[in-house]
Structure formats: structure tokens, C-alpha cells
Amino acid sequence: MISTTPNSGKKKIVIVGGGFAGLNVAQHLYKNKHYEVTLVDKNNYNYFTPLLYQVATSFLEPSSISYPFRKLFRDKHLTFRMAGVVKVDPVAKIVYLTNGELPYDYLVFAAGASTNFYGIESIRQNAISLKEIDDALRMRNALIKTMEQAAITTDPEERRKLLTIVVAGGGPTGVEVAGMLAEMKKFILKKDYPELDGAKGKIYIVDGGANLLAPMSDKTHKETRQALIELGVEVKLNAHVSDFSDGVVTFADGEKLEAKTLIWAAGIIANTFEGIPATSLGIGRRMITDEYNRVKDLEDVYAIGDISVQTTDPLYPKGHPQLAQVAIQTGRNTAKNFVAMAKGKPLKPFKYFDRGDMAIVGRHNAVVDLFKHKVHLSGIAALFVWLFIHLISLVNYNNKIKTLYNWAVAFLTRDQALRMIFGKGENKAT
């Protein structure tokens, strides 16, 4: 049975995925007189992925970075469908969902990416990844349970192993997770777990490259490494994790490290869907698009954000980086092109405007590179830029107020009262 929206003569746009990219298309088309828009997502809420790690480390609650789609689009002439996509039929122009079917005139894939384990099954089974709210809650619960286990363990070596955490991946997520964990160890662990005072155990961050935050400036590389070292984090560069089982992290060169927890932040791979031909897929399984984000070899199908790769921009011949700003900008440009198309006006090719890169290390160390690394900020100035950008990027004022309050508490007290285990949240590593 095919589910349809009311027959108004408008073209039907189906957007798959309500992250940065899909949300921006929907927000810029919700009152457009030419289209009926349906947003499909497996969750009933949008969430702010750059702050997932703060949920995972108990500095923010999930509701601070998430907001329900139906409330977000209330009375805005947009249909929301909570469902997963089973497959798509590009010829019949039908999307098959886990709870029905949707016909479309235009289909926009904005379904993002998932964690890339590079085919290493032991890591997929045993490591903790961080891509969704559920992942963040599993990580939070697993970390707290590990601390509880360490608190009652009398064997010093077992306790050391329990308190040793390896973070694989030196991008923003890995750096920010390692920094937050180091802050917790330095300022919170002894307060919550006095029985662990003096216990051994280290936090490691590992990356296969020569620098952390590799795409950023040399100043950022140096300052980030120094900030982490000052927090007590062990930095291992030019190192690749090849296995994780039985509480042992194995590196490609044969080195082994005993650790109860491996947090995997080493890469992502685009989500794929049945019905999309292999000829339409490029590097990292991303859908190949032209300068208007139209998918190769398909008619009236678009891909934006992390799920797409566009090689027509001379400044990014290998495709744009899989970042929030790219997703936001492709979403807005695609929405504007739909409006132009309806009015018979020429389409505008997508051009990425790099607003800069940033990361926060611990509670108050931040690094910011602006205007293609021409301007570098660190210290308090960088911290305020980071705080401002992340705060204004949250989808709703309710989120902004909650997050600002939680940040203020954490900054002033070096603590937070969110270290509670809710739900099952079982992690395969525990």
C-alpha cells in the first residue's frame, strides 16, 4: 500500500535523514507553495552530533542536544515519517520504508554516515563507537559501570586495566573525548570514587597520522598535543589499531596494550540503500553527485552532506570534507535550487565556504583555525568562539538554554551531576 500526501498538484519531495543536511532542506522548503515535503528519519528527533561526546562523558543530558521533529515542524506544512528505508525504486519513484511506501517526484538522500571499522570484526564487536544518541548513552553507561567495577576490585593490575582507556582517532571527536575523559580523571574521579585514589591507569589517544587534528594548522597540531599531555593523556601517533579482544589493544606493528575500553573514533563510511546502483557510489560508498548534488546515473535523486561526494569543486577535487558545515551548506543550496527549479530559474552550483575548523580540549583549552588557516586562535578567545558557534548551531532555544546552563555548571564547578545509568545501555565490551 502506497502512502501519499493530499493530492494538491504540488511536486512531492521526500528527504531521507533529518541531520544537518536534511533538516536544512526541510526548514527552507516547509512553506513553499510548489512542493509537498516529507521528512523520513528512523529517530523521531534531530540531534546535534558535534556534542555527542559531552553526553557520552556525562557533561550534557541527551535532551540538551536533541529536539523532536514533530514539535520542530508543528504547523509548518511538512510531513514527518518515523521509519527506516528498506530500498528505493528509482524507476517507479517509490521509497520503500519499514512501515509503508512513499512515492516521490524528487528524492533527497541526507542519511549521513556510520562508523567505519575498516573490516576489523573484533573492533566492531568490542569497541565503543560514537555516532548516535544511543551510542552516547551506551558509552556513558559503560564508562560508569567500569568505574564501579574498578572501585570494588582489589587486584591492582586488574584495576589498572579497568582504568586504562584507548581513544582511537585523532580527529575532533577523538581529541574532545580524550580531553573530557582526562578532565574527569583529574578533577572528578577522586571525588566520586575515593577508593581509587592513587590507582594507576592511563588515557591514550592514538592516530595513524603524524598529527592530531590533521587538517588544521601546525600551530593547532602543537597546541592540541601539548594541551592533552598537560591533562595527562598519552599521545601515540603513526600508530594503527589492528585488533581489540580480551581487554588487549593490538597495534599493526605488534605492540599490545592492556585496556578495558577502546573508544573508536577513527573514521566513518556512508550509509547505503538497496536500489542505488554501484555506478552511483564513489569513495567511502558516498553517492557521486554533480555540482547541483544530483546523483550520478539517477533521475531526480539528490545526495547531500556526508552521504555524497562531489568532485566538481576545483578547490576540493576529491570531494568536500564530511563536516557539519558542508552538510548545512549543501542542504541550503539544494533547497534554493528546488525553489529556483519551480520558478524556471537557473540552478546554482554548490560551492563550499570554509568557515574554519575548531576543537576543544578539556574544559577550557580550545583551538580555532579561520579563513583557511590564515587566522589561528587559542586560549580564551578560541574557547568563546567554540562556545558561541556550538551554542547558536543548536536547533532550538530550549536546547541553547539547557546547554548553556550545563556548561556554566561544569565550567564553574569542574563537575556535573549527570553520571547516572538509565535504561539498558549495555555495551558489548562490558
User: In the prediction, which pLDDT does 137 show?
Assistant: 94
Q: What is the pLDDT along the chain (430 residues), one digit of tens a residue?
A: 444 444 557 899 999 999 999 999 999 998 788 999 999 999 999 999 999 999 999 888 999 999 999 999 886 679 999 999 999 999 999 999 999 999 999 999 999 999 999 999 999 999 999 999 999 999 999 999 999 999 999 999 999 999 999 999 999 999 999 999 999 898 888 889 999 888 889 999 999 999 999 999 999 999 999 999 999 999 999 999 999 999 999 999 999 999 999 999 999 999 999 999 999 999 999 999 999 999 999 999 999 999 999 999 888 999 999 999 999 999 999 999 999 999 999 999 999 998 889 999 987 789 999 887 789 999 889 999 999 999 988 888 889 998 998 888 877 777 776 778 776 545 444 4
Strand pairing category for 308-310 and 100-103: unpaired
* pLDDT for the residue numbered 94: 98
Give the contacts of 148 (CB within 8 A, at least 6 positions apart). Answer: none
Question: Grid coordinates representing 182?
Answer: 582526562
On whether the CB atoms of residues 263 and 139 are closer than 8 A, the answer is yes
* Grid coordinates belonging to 420: 547516572
Question: Parallel, antiparallel, or unpaired for β 94-97 and 248-251?
Answer: unpaired
Q: What is the pLDDT of residue 128?
A: 97
Find cell 574521579 and name the residue: 189
CA 255 to chain centre: 30
* d(C-alpha 125, C-alpha 240), whole Å: 18
Helix ranges restricted to H, 39-195: 52-56, 69-72, 121-126, 133-152, 156-162, 172-187, 189-192
What is the β-pairing status of strands 375-378 and 365-370?
antiparallel
Task: State how far the alpha carbon of 127 is from the alpha carbons of 1, 173, 212, 263, in Å.
Answer: 41, 15, 21, 6
Element (H, E) at 302: strand 301-303
The full length of the chain comes to: 430
Neighbouring C-beta atoms of residue 315, cutoff 10 Å: 9
Q: Distance between CA 293 and CA 75 in Å, rounded?
A: 29
Give CA angle at 83 (80, 89), nearest 5°. 100
- The C-alpha angle with vertex 10 and arms to 9 and 12, in degrees rounded to 5, equals 125
- DSSP-assigned beta bridge partners for residue 370: 375
How many other β-carbons are positioned within 10 Å of the β-carbon of residue 321? 14
What predicted TM-score, i.e. pTM, was given to this entire model? Answer: 0.91
- DSSP-derived letter for residue 204 is E
Residues 6+ apart with CB under 8 A from 333: 293, 348, 350
Beta carbons of 5 and 38 less than 8 angstroms apart: yes
The pLDDT, as a whole number, for residue 428 is 46
The DSSP code for 30 is T
